[in-house]
Amino acid sequence: MGEIVAAVGTCHTPYMFTRPPDEDPNQLEQAGAAMQELGKVLDETKPDAILFFGADHVETFSVSCVPSFAIVAGDRAIAKFAGREHNLPIHREMAEDILNKLVTDHNFDMAYSEDAELGHAFSIPFEYVIGNRKIPVVPFFTNVYVPPLPTAKRCYALGRMVRSAIDSLPDKLRVAVIGTGSFSLEIGGPKIDPGKRNAVPDIGWSKHVHARIKEARLDELIEEATPERMWQAGNIGGELLNWIVTLGVIGKEKPRYLADHDEKDGHAYAAWRWN
């Protein structure tokens, strides 16, 4: 029987590694410090494994095959970005057990890979949140970028099924959960121009999402997070779906800590913990 001992949410901005000259280095340092602070939760709770809910930005999968949901159930989680490489152990037994339960017990069609190479959505938190801790991970992908995206309701249902699979693990494992993504993000599109309609970051939407999470009003958030509304919040506004999967695992519990959103260029995201 598994036990959720920690749950945190974080950003994965690639600027943490690339450091472009037009980015405010102080803001990046603040983001890094916040992620490292979240990492201390792992020291406090000492999990046996980490469920990691991330995304792909056409770094791992291509338009020839884009799974709605996928799990990496191999031996190593290898993430490469901006000349850096992270190589973490995968808790293969737990990954395979969860995969089997999702497909056979819950009739949830999952893609899986033994050796998918992970991108910056994993690499950044691997370095700043997990750091040098040798804790095995189980990487999950949600398609947040290439339409059609899975619905918010389907993402929440996946989270609930993952929780059921954890609760019925054959071994007594202490499990931490990490979710990552943004609420409002536009990459190279017109909505990053404040003079355009539906400018990004969409601060009103970001604040609204924060309020829903703070009060654990997840039913309302799921109904409101339509493809159209997330698209208004940016061409990767669908990263909110990562949070919704994570919230499905945690359930309707208010967070212990929820940071103010970050209004950096093209981003609006948060850091939080539940335990």
pLDDT(244) > 90 = yes
How high is the pLDDT of residue 265? Answer: 47
pLDDT tens, residue by residue, 39-59: 999 999 999 999 999 988 878
For residue 18, the one-letter residue type is T
pLDDT single digits (tens) 148-174: 999 999 999 999 999 999 999 988 999
User: Among residues of the chain, what percentage have pLDDT more than 90?
Assistant: 56
CATH fold of 3-273: Protocatechuate 4,5-dioxygenase; Chain B (3.40.830)
Residue 202 has pLDDT above 90, yes or no: no
Rounded Cα–Cα distance for residues 191 and 93 (Å): 44
How many Å apart are CA 46 and CA 180, to the nearest integer? 20
* 95: CB partners within 8 A, 6+ apart: 71, 72, 73, 74, 138
Q: How far is CA 48 from CA 56, 72, 130, 156, 253, in A?
A: 25, 17, 13, 24, 23
Mean local confidence (pLDDT), 169-198:
84
Model pTM?
0.92
CA-to-CA separations, 28 to 78, 86, 117, 149, in angstroms, rounded: 24, 20, 25, 29
Query: Both ends of the chain: CA-CA distance in Å?
Result: 19
Assess whether pLDDT exceeds 50 at residue 103. yes
Q: What is the mean pLDDT of the chain?
A: 89
Q: Which residue has the higher pLDDT, 18 or 94?
A: 94
* Distance in angstroms (rounded) separating the CA atoms of residues 264 and 251: 29
Amino acid code (one letter) for 260? D
pLDDT tens profile 1-33: 899 999 998 888 888 888 888 778 888 888 888
What's the pLDDT at 171?
Answer: 83
Mean pLDDT, rounded, for 202-214: 87
Lowest model confidence (mean pLDDT) among 95-99, 123-127, 179-183: 179-183
Domain borders along the chain are: 3-273
Strand partners of residue 50 = 137, 176
Among the listed residues 275, 269, 191, the one whose alpha carbon sits nearest the alpha carbon of residue 35: 269
* Residue 99: per-residue pLDDT: 97
